[in-house]
Structure 1
Amino acid sequence: MEKDPSYKTILVAPLNWGLGHATRCIPIIKALQDNNYIPIIASDGVALALLRKEFPYIKTLELPSYQIEYAKNGKNFKWKLIKSLPKMIRAIWKEKRTTKEWIAKYEIDGILSDNRLGVFDQKTPSVFITHQLNVMTGNTSWLSSKIHQNIIKKHRICWIPDVAGTPNLSGELGHLQTTDLKLNYIGPLSRIQKKEVEKKYDLMVILSGPEPQRTYLEEKLKTEVQNYTGKVIFIKGIIEKEQKKEEKENITFYNFMNTKQLEQAFNESDLVLSRSGYTTIMDLAKLEKKAFFIPTPGQYEQEYLAKKLEKDGIAPWSSQGDFSIEKLSEVSAYSGLKKFNSPVDWKQLFEIFEQ
């Protein structure tokens, strides 16, 4: 059967680095459907598993894994990443060849790559999505930023899920003093909507990010929340076949939640304790929530964002090793995250696929 030319097919490919890149692609995928495009989802690992649960009727494809190995000690994070580079580069080259094959096989008309470094094609309109124009890696930030910006240049345009001016969420990560890159600040992205509902939980713990650090934080916080007197909902961030729920006194545990359930839980909670991942920050801004952040050890980006939000008087933070449940009392001295009133004009953004 021949493809209907009035419905263009768009490949949506988020990076598998925790769940953040996948979750922020959810509103993009829904917008594509609402604007009569046919999305095909491509990723690997937990990111692909999550999107398959969210969109069971959309075609999904598996990309080669970057096989990044994460350090048990946060201080070794960068060096472990450097050791992974040869495997990562091979995966990116394979990713590029695979993308070319899929464009022909599935008649793909456009590409939306959320930090997938090999998902692009010079003949196909492609968009790169990132909040990291500057990639922070300590004393090598200048080099990692330059490499990333050269990759961005290969695409027709770069969408940044933030606002161009100040105040903003990404700070130095998503804003350059001078650049010749083609940039479009599309406003923060979130799959979550704010609702006026009755509060059910005093604290929401939501975990995400790479192993083994996700597990280390889960084990630490399981112990800490036992000393918390309020009602707690604790979402582990483990994508499994079946959802599991467990209640222990004042704490309700879930292995994972789908978007609808997460939206409800967020809205029903007074305070959120989480990693300072950028997607989580965008969600909390949409919900205008108070939060406490624990950056993933060794992840310069999360450490930068946590420090920025503290400096701006928005939310406190602690290192993973130093955190104790008593530190949550610091939240009262901070303003909490604020919503950016910047509705996304999807029809205008998708015009790139009509050229």
Structure 2
Amino acid sequence: MKPTLAAFPATRLRRLRKSPAIRALVNQSVLSPGDFIWPVFVRDGDGVMEPVASMPGVNRLSVDKVVEAAREAHALGIPAICLFPYTPEHLKTEDCAEAWNPENLSNRATRAIKDAVPDMAVMTDVALDPYNINGHDGFVRDGEIINDETVEALVKQALSQARSGADIIGPSDMMDGRIGAIRAELEREGFRNTLLLSYAAKFASAFYGPFRDAVGASGVFKGDKTTYQMQPGNSDEAMRLIERDLSEGADMIMVKPGMPYLDICRRAKDMFGAPTFAYQVSGEYAMLAGAAERGWLDHDKVMLESLTGFKRAGCDGVLTYFAPAAARLLNG
């Protein structure tokens, strides 16, 4: 678009900024609680709210407390909650069998939320890292992350989540072919309306550190994830991955991390027009929340500014740990 402007003083662009009323009329990127998916960490126990040291204001919650969080989110107008399990160490194995256990933390929390707050959409994470003694998203053999056998395991994990009532399944593993395999099995099993929100463009980022603390993966993790997550400098590859996942049956796509990759969000939305989400990841949250905690930044202003940036970049929604705080502000 090439704007047509009269010469100054006929055009005074400041006229459109002169008052709150005028600014509201011309505001392009509008943020609402309906734009948020709230990531929540679930752990075992009862009545537990355990602070995550590297993420100020974020807690690991037992299933009963996750249900309370879901009720709060629903009351605030947040449409979806995303579950990430803090798996006990004795359940982490090389075969990752806890990933598809019907009674694992994620599946129990899903059922509890759907029983208590049926209208709350529950999103689940498909990857083996919370269950893997090696801390990787896939099976490890002789130092290599094995793709095809991992995909078979991810299909079993996704089916267990669908059977537990998950509305949105989020494959975050970055294995080749997993979207097509999961979609085909969901269809065969009758889960035709279960959505796939693919982490299609997930970068090998240094911003994930606090998340790994939150799910207990830091201590067991060895090596890095550069053979399956993307290089931060590659945008063309991101488009290829997004196109592939959409062609295999993804309903929505994710860019992760968020703020350092807003150009990827914009390009993906312009190129494909699919529902596009970004994950404001743990490191992004920790930077802003930690600086605000020290009085270096205005918490509420930087929170809303950062979230508005995702909307401006073309995102339809954001996974953010700020979801409840932002929703309370937006609701007045």
Question: Normalization by structure 2: what TM-score?
Answer: 0.34
Higher normalized helix content (fraction of residues): 2
Question: Normalization by structure 1: what TM-score?
Answer: 0.32
Higher relative CO (CA 8 A, sep ≥ 6), structure 1 or 2?
2
